[in-house]
Structure 1
Amino acid sequence: MSAQKEIYLLSPTPRTDTISLPMIQFSTVADSIDFDSCDTLMFTSKQAVVTADNVDKKWKNYPCIAIGAATKKQIEALGGEVIYHPDSYYGETLSQDIIRHFSQRKILYLRPREVSFDSKAFLKKAGIDLQEQIIYETGCISYSSKEKPVQNAIIIFTSPSTIHCFMKNFDWDESYTAVVIGRATKVHLPEDANYVVAEEPLISSCIEKAKSL
């Protein structure tokens, strides 16, 4: 029986059975939130919810569209109400769901500076004017070459940003296996990377997949 390979987790929060190698750090870029012309909020990340709560507690007065299980859990943990929670977040599918269920609502998307899909442009084609406010941004953490993962490592990527920041720090080693949290993340990997996709878009599912390799 072969020895268990080292598993590196690149998200900010450490988890047992993995080596923590966080790639991104968050900075708040808003000092207020403009709720004036919205009746519903949309969040696509746990960090967006935490940031909104730090900036203005009044976000809890608005029903929320939550993208991803971790986002839904964070909204509810901080006292917010989730009125819609799609099974998965792939930009075009999500936008079609919003068109179908929420065409009459005035949605404010509280978002990071960089997003992998331009929901605003897609929804505009359907006549929905999605309002957006950038409330935080992500930056890469820097590492020395000595901190590069060992050969044959399994590396868990939880977002396109974690791949981008990893490649800024290290060259890809052909012995690595990537575990990615979903399809939107997969497309950012190096072309020659060996990879598998987690069964569900959850960090816990990524870890289980990594352990099974």
Structure 2
Amino acid sequence: MTQTDGMIYLLSPLPREGTRHLPMIRFSSLSSTIDLSTCDTLLFTSKQAVKSAEALNPEWKKYPCLAIGAATAKEIESLGGKVMYRPKSFYAQTLSQDIITQFQDKKILYLRPKEVSFDAKTFLAKAGIALQEQVIYETACIRYEKKEKPGKNAIIIFTSPSTIHCFLKNFAWDESYTAVVIGEATKVHLPAKVCYEVADRPTIDACILKAKQILLTSNSK
């Protein structure tokens, strides 16, 4: 990979126009099926969880869904599912608070990755709500050679805490870099003293727009 100053690097799994694609994570299934017999509502906090559910048991579409994030809700609907509720905020803690006030009578099954940034089950248990969970997939870091490290002054787009952890497993952070993070939950995983900006909305499109704004500003100096 050629090291080019001032390039925008996107670390999410899928490429986007106007960026250098440097995917950091791969997904793998951790289950052979999904048991839907004891729930009446599903909870999804990622697009990948919806894709994994579709591969494991297409019957999930018969259940109303709680969804975090526009991409998650869009994936549910594109596969024929129904989004029952989507919180205004894009964070699991906000949705958990909404469950306490609006959906505590529901039998909710959280189809989740192995690692999560917020422990919704413990949070809801304190309110007397028993959240069912099934871990259906996990993420693993993609390995890169040192020569593939982004060049000086690169803008690095982090779309999840996992992309931060995997990037730092591969490369030492360069002080000339600028990080663009998709939201507050991702921001807290950045190392100290990293120069960063948070996207105006928690979407990849907003991250790319923010990165282009930073690049434009730096080029005009």
Q: Is TM (by shorter chain) over 0.5?
A: yes
Shift of 1:36: 1.2
Q: Give 1:212's aligned residue.
A: 213
Structure 1: how far apart are the matches of 2:69 and 2:145? 33
Task: Please tell me the residue identity of whatever aligns with 1:201.
Answer: P
Q: Give 1:159's aligned residue.
A: 160
Q: Give 1:177's aligned residue.
A: 178
Q: Are 2:42 and 1:41 aligned?
A: yes
Instruction: Determine if contact 1:113/1:135 at 8 Å carries over to the other structure.
Output: yes
Structure 2: how far apart are the matches of 1:67 and 1:196? 22
Instruction: Determine if contact 2:52/2:137 at 8 Å carries over to the other structure.
Output: yes
How many aligned residue pairs are there? 210
Task: Please tell me the residue identity of whatever aligns with 2:137.
Answer: Y
Q: Are 2:144 and 1:143 aligned?
A: yes
Task: Please tell me the residue identity of whatever aligns with 1:118.
Answer: D
Structure 2: how far apart are the matches of 1:109 and 1:117? 12
TM-score (norm 2): 0.94
Structure 2: how far apart are the matches of 1:47 and 1:121? 23
Structure 1: how far apart are the matches of 2:14 and 2:118? 25
Matches within 5 A, 1:1-213: 5-213=6-214
1:133-155 alpha-carbon deviations (Å, 9 max, x no partner): 00000000000000000110000
1:59-111 alpha-carbon deviations (Å, 9 max, x no partner): 00100001100000000000000010112232322211111110100000000
Q: Percent identity of the aligned residues?
A: 66
Q: Which ranges of structure 1 fall in alignment gaps of 5 or more residues?
A: none
Structure 2: how far apart are the matches of 1:204 and 1:33? 32
Structure 1: how far apart are the matches of 2:42 and 2:201? 24
RMSD, matched Cα: 0.9
Structure 1: how far apart are the matches of 2:73 and 2:92? 17
Task: Please tell me the residue identity of whatever aligns with 1:69.
Answer: A
TM-score (norm 1): 0.97
Instruction: Determine if contact 1:88/1:201 at 8 Å carries over to the other structure.
Output: no
Structure 2: how far apart are the matches of 1:57 and 1:91? 24
